[in-house]
Structure 1
Amino acid sequence: MYWKFVCTVETEAECFQRALFGDTKKLWEEVKDVRKGDILFLYNIDTDVLFGPFIAESDGALNIEPDAWDGRFPAQVRVKWDAISIMRNASAKFGYLKTSSFKPPYTLRLSEEQGGELLKALTSARVMIPDQLKSEIQQLDFDIHTLAHRMEEIMCGKGHLADREINLDRVKSEFITKMRDFVWAVRKLDKQTGILELPSNK
């Protein structure tokens, strides 16, 4: 099964950082049909750029990461990828990308023909993500989430307030360091691949 999720310049980076696609609850009836192993594409409606292919790492579910995109897109799918291809001006060749993104009835599901066309077209512009850099970003993401949970535990925990404040400051410092490293790793990824077109790399 093939699916097309959408993003904007505001939400694109978070899709890659979290390895997560999402949509509004209105489209939950479609997202819930996504199955692990399905092929997904990501279309930026602002830049007219198509990314893919991605593999669904989970079935469609609600709030896999509740804080993602500030909770605006709770119908979510975890994704993975081996290599990313980029197609610019994608709607010029595949008009249904823009049509299905702006005009009702909105749909994420692609036909077998549409999905096969996109898959074939993207293979000619494949961008390889170095395994070492991918692993670095994944590890930093894991560390950041672990530290965030640790901060929650400290804030909700028992014990003397002063001790909790000291522990919280220590974990916050480590969290900030990891976030800095994460940002630099993502910038490095963009410099090597151009995949995110980050303003800081222009």
Structure 2
Amino acid sequence: MEYKWEENDVGGDVPEFGAIFMSNIAAKRECFKRKVFGLPSSMASFVKQVKVGMVLFLFEFEKRQLFGVYRATSDGGMNIAPHAINSSGKRFSAQVRFTPIWICRPLFENEFREAIKENYFSTKKFHFGLSKEQVRRLLHLFSTRKLNDMLAPRQMTRVVTGEFGNGTF
């Protein structure tokens, strides 16, 4: 499926090469414990476009920090972990499983904003879909904050170049 950008449209409506998920502090803990990221069911069409191997990040909106770097281990879907991610009475049933690629210190919004500037549609709001170039920019930022590598160098090269899964990215 090819996405056509409107001339005055903001980027990030679809996850071309990666995606950012959102959470609050409490939901973040549960996401990491269960290795599942989620969004409300209203975002199901977006999440269902996330495919195995895509690079993922988690934006914790209370402190406005971006956590990374993760890789999707399932295609996005509904209720992958049915009882997971229930934050303040709100269910996040559009979900994807993930595994860490790098364990890194988080980036504050002022540190990563430029890397995804095309996705901002207001001062503090942005679309979650990432292009290949945006993923590369974020990987560069996170590479200076690595605490631990989870993938072997050859595997990381495949993630950066998009040679994962069936090579469709």
What interval of TM-score do these two structures reach, taking the shorter chain for normalisation? 0.5 to 0.7
Given candidates 114, 129, 132, the residue that maps to 1:109 is 129
Checking the alignment, whether the CA contact within 8 Å between 1:49 and 1:86 is kept in structure 2 is no
RMSD across aligned positions (CA): 2.4
SS at match of 1:26: helix
Given candidates 119, 125, 138, the residue that maps to 1:118 is 138
- Structure 2, unpaired ranges of 5+: 1-16, 151-169
Q: Does 1:83 align with 2:77?
A: no
After TM superposition, the structure 1 stretch with the greater mean CA deviation from structure 2, 106-115 or 47-56, is 106-115
Aligned positions of 1:17-166 closer than 5 A: 17-70=33-86, 72-89=91-108, 91-95=109-113, 96=116, 99=120, 103=125, 107-128=127-148
Aligned residues: 127
Greater strand percent: which structure?
Answer: 2
Larger relative contact order (CA 8 Å, sep ≥ 6): 2
In structure 1, give the amino acid aligned to 2:96: V
Greater helix percent: which structure?
Answer: 1
Question: 1:110, 1:9 → 2: CA distance?
Answer: 23
TM-score by length of 2: 0.67
Task: Provide, for residues 150-192 of structure 1, a one-character-per-residue CA deviation record: whole Å limited to 9, x for no partner.
Answer: xxxxxxxxxxxxxxxxxxxxxxxxxxxxxxxxxxxxxxxxxxx
After TM superposition, the structure 1 stretch with the greater mean CA deviation from structure 2, 76-85 or 116-125, is 76-85
Checking the alignment, whether the CA contact within 8 Å between 2:120 and 2:127 is kept in structure 1 is no
